[in-house]
């Protein structure tokens, strides 16, 4: 009675009737009993029938279960490399509890990407009039970089990097995506621009074109 058997059926099983389903369940229970007995012999456990009180721990012993019924578990012990840039695009708003001490020091950053956790940001990083006029920034996109996340806190700790602009516009949205994925979109240095042809318009010389494969 302590064993739960899960079975999967399709629409074709209705054609065989209830007797067929009972036979399938009986086969599964018999196979489960055989697997349990073989597993017990493999680990050298002798099962002795006793009172109901004595059978309880033995029936729940995971060593008696087949491998296919066991859920593998693991534990993260070390982070080798941080792949995410820890930067996210989102909005800032005041904390809900105005009487708390945290309300005087921090604001809440809500990322657009819900896979990134919400974070506390310092009011010193926010615009000067954010506390008095928070509605002016309800549709303003900001870039926040997560710097820490303590074990006893439900929210991470972030630092506002810059203000991007109004949400929904192409340039702020594009800049936010590039910063989230760590793409360097800054201007090229003068040294890099000096490697380009200076005389414009520039065309490929006939000798160089003869050595290349034309994919135009």
Residue with tokens 């809900």: 96
Give the pLDDT confidence score for residue 1 in this predicted structure.
44
| CA-based nearest residue to 116, from 145, 141, 151 | 145
Give the pLDDT confidence score for residue 85 in this predicted structure.
82
If phi > 0 it is left, if psi is from -120 to 50 it is alpha, else beta; for residue 212 that is beta
Give the pLDDT confidence score for residue 66 in this predicted structure.
85
Give the pLDDT confidence score for residue 180 in this predicted structure.
86
Give the pLDDT confidence score for residue 166 in this predicted structure.
86
Exposed e or buried b per residue across 140-156, where buried means at least 16 C-beta atoms within 10 angstroms of its C-beta: bbbbbebeeeeeeeeeb
Give the pLDDT confidence score for residue 190 in this predicted structure.
92
Give the pLDDT confidence score for residue 98 in this predicted structure.
84
Give the pLDDT confidence score for residue 84 in this predicted structure.
79
Does residue 92 sit in helix, strand or coil?
strand
Give the pLDDT confidence score for residue 6 in this predicted structure.
54
Distance CA 165, CA 174 (A): 11
Question: Are 92 and 137 a contacting pair, CB within 8 Å?
Answer: yes
* Mean pLDDT by groups of 10 residues along the chain of 216 residues: 52 52 63 54 49 56 82 89 86 89 90 91 91 90 91 90 87 88 88 88 89 90
Does residue 7 sit in helix, strand or coil?
coil
Q: Which two tokens stand for residue 33?
A: 């009993």
Distance CA 54, CA 41 (A): 19
Domain ranges of the chain: 87-181
Give the pLDDT confidence score for residue 62 in this predicted structure.
75
Q: In terms of C-beta density within 10 A (0-12 exposed, 13-18 middle, 19 or more buried), how is residue 109 classed?
A: buried
Look up the CATH architecture of domain 87-181: Beta Barrel (2.40)
DSSP state for residue 187 in the 8-state scheme:
P
Q: Which two tokens stand for residue 144?
A: 């926040």
Give the pLDDT confidence score for residue 214 in this predicted structure.
87
Query: Beta strands 119-122 and 156-166: pairing type?
Result: parallel
CB within 8 Å of 125: residues ≥ 6 apart: 159, 160
Give the pLDDT confidence score for residue 51 in this predicted structure.
47
């Amino acid at each position: 009675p302590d064993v739960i058997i899960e079975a999967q059926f399709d629409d074709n099983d209705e054609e065989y009737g209830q007797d067929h389903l009972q036979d399938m369940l009986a086969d599964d229970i018999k196979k489960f009993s055989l697997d349990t007995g073989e597993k017990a012999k493999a680990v050298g456990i002798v099962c002795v029938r006793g009172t109901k009180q004595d059978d309880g721990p033995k029936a729940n012993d995971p060593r008696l279960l087949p491998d296919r019924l066991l859920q593998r578990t693991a534990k993260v012990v070390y982070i080798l490399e941080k792949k995410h840039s820890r930067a996210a695009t989102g909005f800032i708003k005041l904390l809900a509890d105005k009487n708390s001490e945290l309300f005087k020091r921090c604001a809440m950053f809500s990322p657009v990407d819900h896979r990134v956790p919400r974070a506390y940001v310092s009011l010193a990083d926010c615009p000067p009039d954010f506390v008095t006029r928070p509605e002016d920034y309800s549709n303003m996109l900001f870039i926040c970089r997560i710097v820490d996340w303590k074990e006893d806190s439900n929210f991470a700790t972030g630092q506002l990097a810059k203000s991007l602009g109004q949400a929904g516009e192409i340039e702020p949205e594009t800049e936010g995506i590039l910063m989230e994925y760590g793409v360097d979109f800054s201007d090229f240095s003068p040294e890099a621009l000096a490697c380009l042809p200076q005389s414009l318009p520039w065309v490929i010389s006939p000798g160089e074109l003869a050595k290349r494969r034309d994919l135009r």
